[in-house]
Structure formats: structure tokens, C-alpha cells
Amino acid sequence: MSKGIVKIAEICGVSIATVSRVLNNSGPVKESTRARILQIAQELNYKPNSNARSLSRRRTDTIGVILPELVDEFFMGVIQGINEVANRHQRYIMLSSSHSQRDELETMLEFMNGGRVDGVILMAPALHHTMKTILKSNTRPLVLLNCRPGIPGIVSINFDNFQGAKVATEHLIQHGYQKIAMITGPEINNDARERFRGFQSALKENNINLPESFIVPGEFNIESGYYGFMRLMSLPEKPRAIFAANDMMVLGAYEAAKSLKLRIPEDVAIAGFDDIFLGRLLNPRLTTVHAPIVEMGRAAMQQILKMVDEKWRPEEEYTIHLSTGLVIGGSCGCKNNNGNNFV
């Protein structure tokens, strides 16, 4: 028991329980008594112990956040959005990165069962069977990013990857390009699958058939973009335009084009996805799909706090789709090269 609370109770001539109710705003107390307790607390410069208060409410005021990486620009944007809302609501976040399925599972189990956090925000673009089983038995508030779990009671937040990729591909087609290749993302990744599906849909609706060699696998990193571009440019029949499933791979593609002394877009046009800051520094300015990365973080924190505060808990799976838009630069062949145009 805090000595400060005991001292306040003695001076005010009330019970310790009454002082506790006033300081924690957790129960009815006569207004004159409340005012007297707060006055004495201020005079004594008493500040309630936040840890003890959290324990008494069985709350930690902390949200666990598990992301694949913590240093990539994309994930830093998500963290920025999460942190903005957390600060506004005087909550803390506990960050962890998962470089493997085992790391992800261990961190998730620790957060969910260890009582260290009130809820968990998990980015898991690829959900395997074991993780789905764990999620189904979870009782702690949970928000998933970039996946479609199909599990009741879980909130998932996703970009409209399909529509974004479709619009980007259609834009390349409108430039007159027919030989359009794609550097895809990881096959097990939900974002990558949806972006590839959008790419295919645009080609089908415009009656464009491509050779299988025009589809090159990537890993959402600079290196795979570099080697994907080199592979496409080594083909006997070369593509006239390339859609990369994310901007990090575009950075690699630009470097590869430079090493081959190829001009963008004169020799090959390029479009990306995500609209990361580094992509805006490329010359020519990258045409890319804007994904509201920071907004995703904000939405995730807002939803988890609703559940933690018991204001809302979905009975069925609840999915939020964040809309995308096309940022027009000069890499696609457009005259505008400053990236200010947004479709």
C-alpha cells in the first residue's frame, strides 16, 4: 500500500478505499470529499503509481506490436501511425520483429498469454496453419494487418491491393505498352497475391497475353528487384514496361537499369506500389500506387483500443479495406515528372 494514500486518508479523515476511488476515478464519492482529497494530494505532491494502477485494473496500458521488420521504410510508416494514436490516448507500445515463423509464434504467445500487453497488433501477410489455430483460441483483443484470416472475432486491416495493381497496370496499357512484365512479391504473401491478381485482371480485360517468362518472382527487397530486372532484360523478347509489386524492388530495378545503361522510360517504363519516400527521390520520379501506410497504423491502434476499452468486439470477422490511388511520375512515360498528380 502506498504511504502517500495512507497519509492523504489520515489528513482527510476518510478510508483508504475512498482515497483510492478518487485518485483512480473508479467509484462514487461525495463531491466535497473528492475536492478535499485532490487538494491534499496536490499539496503533498502525490502522484499515483502507474504500474500499481494498471495492476489494480488488470491493465498494462500497453499494446504489443509484431512486425516482420522494424527498419524498413514501410514498417516505420506503420509504427508512426500506431505511435501517433498511442500517444494521443496515453498508451504505450511494445515492439517486436519476427524474422521467422518460430519467432513470430513465440512473440505472439508471450504477448497474448504473459499478461504484458492489453492487446496485440500483428502484421502477418502469410498465415500458416499453426498460427491460425493459435489465433482461433485467442481471447485477447487482436488486430491483423495485411492478411485475411477468416477467423471470427478478429479485425483485419488491408490495402486494396487488387484495385491498386489493376489501376497501375491499366495506366501502363493506356500508354500503349503491350509487352508488360511483372516482378512479383513472395508467393505466400497476401499482398503479393492480390497485386498479382490485379495485374492479371487488367491484362485479361485488355486481351493481352504474355509469355510466362515475363513473370519474375521477387522478395519485396532491393536485391530481388535488381536481379528481376536483369533477368527480364536478358530475355530474347524484352518487355517494354515493368510493374514491380513494391517500391523497394523498383529501387533495385533502377540500379540495374543504370548498370545496363538503359533509360527510363525511353527504353523501359516502370511502375511500383507503396509510394515510399525513397521512391520520390528517383529520377525520373516513380509512378506508383499510393498505399496509406501511416493510416494503416492509425486505424490498427484505433481498432485495438476500442476492443481493449470494451467499447466494441466483433462477433464475426471484421475487415477494413484502405483505398489506394495512383501517383503519376515520369517513369511510366508521362510528361509530368514531379509526382504531384494523384489519380
Q: For the chain, 343 residues long, give each residue's pLDDT as a single digit of tens.
A: 456 778 888 899 988 778 877 776 656 778 888 888 888 888 888 766 655 454 445 678 899 998 887 777 888 999 999 999 999 999 999 988 765 555 666 676 677 666 778 889 988 777 666 677 777 767 788 899 988 777 777 889 999 999 999 999 999 999 999 999 999 999 888 899 999 999 999 999 999 999 999 999 999 999 999 999 999 999 999 999 999 999 999 999 999 999 999 999 999 999 999 999 988 899 999 999 999 999 999 999 999 999 888 777 777 778 899 999 999 999 999 986 555 565 6
Contacts of 15 (CB under 8 A, 6+ apart): 9
Say whether pTM exceeds 0.95.
no
Task: Cite the residue boundaries of each domain of the chain with CATH code 3.40.50.2300.
Answer: 62-160+294-323, 161-292+326-342
Query: Contact 33/40 with Cβ under 8 angstroms?
Result: no
Instruction: Give the ranges where the chain is alpha helix by DSSP (H).
Output: 3-12, 16-24, 31-43, 50-56, 73-88, 101-113, 129-137, 161-174, 190-205, 222-233, 247-259, 293-308
pLDDT reported for residue 105: 64
Question: What fold is seen in the domain 62-160+294-323?
Answer: Rossmann fold (3.40.50)
Q: What is the dihedral of CA 277, 282, 284, 289, to 10 degrees?
A: -40
SS3 277: helix
Q: Give the residues across from 143 on adjacent strands.
A: 121, 155
Neighbours of 285 (CB within 10 A): 21
What is the C-alpha separation between 155 and 307, in angstroms, rounded?
A: 10
To the question of domain 3-56 being in CATH 1.10.260.40, the answer is yes
pLDDT number for residue 226: 98
Per-residue pLDDT, 56: 45
d(CA 245, CA 289): 10
Task: Please name the amino acid found at residue 242.
Answer: I
pLDDT score at 114: 66
Which amino acid is residue 294, in one-letter code? V
Dihedral class, residue 311 (left if φ above 0, else alpha if ψ from -120 to 50, else beta) = alpha
Q: Do residues 114 and 64 lie in contact, with contact meaning Cβ atoms separated by under 8 Å?
A: no
Distance, in Å, from the CA atom of 242 to the CA atom of 202, rounded to the nearest integer, reads: 14
Task: Enter the CATH code of domain 161-292+326-342.
Answer: 3.40.50.2300
Which candidate, 162, 211, 158, 175, places its Cα nearest to that of 287?
175
- Pairwise CA distance, residues 18 & 28, whole Å: 9
DSSP-derived letter for residue 311 is S
